[in-house]
Chain A
Amino acid sequence: MSRQANRGTESKKMSSELFTLTYGALVTQLCKDYENDEDVNKQLDKMGYNIGVRLIEDFLARSNVGRCHDFLETADVIAKVAFKMYLGITPSITNWSPAGDEFSLILENNPLVDFVELPDNHSSLIYSNLLCGVLRGALEMIRKPRCTADT
Chain B
Amino acid sequence: MAVCVAVIAKENYPLYIRSIPTENELKFHYMVHTSLDVVDEKISAMGKALVDQRELYLGLLYPTEDYKVYGYVTNSKVKFVMVVDSSNTALRDNEIRSMFRKLHNSYTDVMCNPFYNPGDRIQSRAFDGMVTSMMIQVC
Contacts and interface: CB of A to CB of B under 8 A. Distances in A.
Interface of A: 17, 20-21, 23-25, 27-28, 114-119, 122
B30 interface: no
Interface of B: 109-110, 112-115, 123-126
A116 B126 CA distance: 10
A54 to B, nearest CB: 25
Given A116-B114, A119-B115, 9 more contacts: A17-B112, A23-B114, A24-B115, A27-B114, A28-B114, A115-B112, A116-B115, A117-B113, A119-B123
Nearest to A29: B114
11 contacts: A20-B112, A21-B112, A21-B114, A24-B113, A24-B115, A25-B114, A115-B109, A116-B113, A118-B115, A119-B115, A122-B115
Contacts of B123: 119
B124 A117 contact: yes
Contact of B115 (A20, A23, A117): A117
Q: Which of A17, A21, A27, A117 has the most CB of B within 10 A?
A: A117
Nearest to B127: A117
B112 A28 contact: no
A31 B126 CA distance: 23
A116 B113 CA distance: 5
A17 B112 CA distance: 9
A28 B123 CA distance: 17
A119 to B, nearest CB: 5
Contacts of B126: 117
Contacts of A119: 115, 123
